[in-house]
């Protein structure tokens, strides 16, 4: 890989650390939001000699719901979440991507289905399936879809994600992901590999900053090649409850080993809303410069935790 491409790979990580240091400007912060227990609330009510009314009970339950940890989906940015599903929890995600790359046919990617099941708090199993229409034989065209899929019209993917560290001071939370992608339709038939590493921090102002790096294998008409995909995202809550939030993100996909290597760069922004702590919806718009015009990708989706 040329020196310029190597510089492109490390730029998001360096930028992320710089953003975090600038925005935080204070000692380490750890998430300590804990919902008040029903027992302690009842004791306070009993001590005051009053009985909890239905309105007070609804207000308390609403407060407990607000304080519950929100679901964190992998689909809400190209940079995958550094958190796992949680012990015994199942997260189901699905989205639709509209992919318009200059000089190529328009593509539609759906349902980008991903199921994540937590085995303990540090490990999750992953299983998904996707179909992409309008595909040409040019490789890496569909890899910009949110799930970073293989170059196949239809595919099943499976693997795991493991949380490696929790945030402690300026030590970031980190996670590692590994998946196999097996074509189930179309011209391709070889299973491909996807791995990823992400690190990030929750800042004192409740902004989240993450940087990721993904590696993948693929095939160009019988010729294998590899891909590198660095990314960095800043997530910003728009309300005090953090139900509504946006993000600004950079990501790229750089190939190595093809007859003509490519480097696609994108900047995206989004709007997400947590209907409940266990349900999230949102949309993403990504733009990338191209010698023949502008690459555009839009994505809408949902994530539900059980």
Confidence at residue 56, expressed as pLDDT on a 0 to 100 scale = 60
* 46: number of Cβ within 10 Å: 11
- DSSP annotation of 121 reads S
Q: What is the pTM of this model?
A: 0.76
Confidence at residue 237, expressed as pLDDT on a 0 to 100 scale = 96
- Asked if 222 and 216 count as a contact pair (C-beta separation under 8 A), the reply is no
Confidence at residue 52, expressed as pLDDT on a 0 to 100 scale = 63
Tokens 């750890």, located at residue: 30
In the chain, count of helices (H) and strands (E)? 3, 12
Long-range contacts of 259-267 (CB under 8 A, 24+ apart): 259/220, 259/223, 261/225, 262/140, 263/5, 263/8, 264/101, 264/140, 264/144, 264/288, 264/290, 264/295, 265/8, 265/289, 266/78, 266/144, 266/295, 266/297
Name the CATH superfamily for 3-25+69-305: monomeric porin ompg (2.40.160.40)
Nearest to 239 by CA among 211, 282, 270, 206: 206
Q: Which residues of the chain have pLDDT under 70?
A: 1-52, 54-68, 135-148, 150-151
Confidence at residue 104, expressed as pLDDT on a 0 to 100 scale = 76
* 98: number of Cβ within 10 Å: 16
- Asked if 222 and 104 count as a contact pair (C-beta separation under 8 A), the reply is no
Distance of alpha carbon 264 from alpha carbon 295, whole angstroms: 9
Confidence at residue 240, expressed as pLDDT on a 0 to 100 scale = 92
Distance of alpha carbon 46 from alpha carbon 89, whole angstroms: 35
Confidence at residue 55, expressed as pLDDT on a 0 to 100 scale = 62
Instruction: For the chain, give the mean pLDDT.
Output: 79
Confidence at residue 23, expressed as pLDDT on a 0 to 100 scale = 39
**φ, ψ for residue 127 (rounded to 5)?**
-145, 135
Confidence at residue 208, expressed as pLDDT on a 0 to 100 scale = 96
How far is CA 28 from each of CA 4, 38, 82, 169, rounded to the nearest angstrom?
34, 30, 18, 4
Q: Cis peptide leading into 111, omega within 30 of 0? A: yes
Over the stretch 263-280, which tens digit does the pLDDT of each residue have?
889 999 999 999 999 999
Interior angle at CA 155, CA 154 and CA 159, nearest 5: 165
Work out whether strand 263-276 and strand 279-290 pair parallel, antiparallel, or are unpaired.
Answer: antiparallel
- Domain positions in the chain are 3-25+69-305
């Amino acid at each position: 890989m040329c020196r310029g491409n190597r510089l492109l790979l490390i730029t998001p990580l360096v930028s992320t650390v710089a953003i975090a240091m600038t925005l935080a400007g204070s000692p380490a912060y750890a998430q300590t939001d804990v919902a008040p227990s029903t027992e302690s609330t009842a004791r306070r009510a009993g001590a005051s000699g009053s009985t909890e009314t239905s309105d007070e009970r609804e207000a308390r339950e609403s407060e407990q719901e607000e304080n519950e940890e929100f679901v964190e989906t992998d689909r809400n940015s190209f940079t995958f979440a550094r958190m796992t599903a949680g012990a015994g929890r199942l997260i189901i995600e699905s989205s639709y991507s509209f992919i318009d790359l200059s000089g190529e046919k328009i593509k539609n990617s759906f349902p980008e289905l991903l199921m994540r099941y937590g085995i303990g708090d540090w490990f999750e199993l992953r299983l998904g399936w996707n179909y992409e229409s309008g595909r040409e034989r040019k490789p890496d065209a569909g890899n910009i879809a949110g799930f970073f899929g293989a170059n196949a019209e239809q595919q099943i993917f499976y693997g795991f994600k493991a949380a490696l560290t929790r945030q402690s001071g300026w030590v970031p939370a980190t996670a590692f992901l590994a998946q196999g992608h097996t074509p189930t339709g179309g011209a391709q038939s070889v299973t491909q590999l996807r791995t990823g590493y992400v690190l990030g921090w929750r800042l004192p102002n409740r902004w989240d900053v993450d940087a990721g790096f993904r590696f993948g294998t693929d095939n160009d008409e019988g010729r294998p090649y590899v891909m590198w995909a660095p990314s960095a995202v800043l997530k910003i809550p728009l309300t005090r409850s953090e139900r509504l939030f946006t993000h600004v993100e950079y990501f790229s996909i750089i190939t190595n080993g093809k007859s003509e290597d490519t480097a696609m760069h994108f900047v995206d922004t989004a709007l997400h809303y947590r209907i409940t702590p266990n349900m999230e919806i949102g949309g993403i718009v990504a733009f990338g410069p191209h010698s023949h015009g502008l690459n555009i990708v839009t994505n809408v989706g949902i994530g539900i935790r059980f």
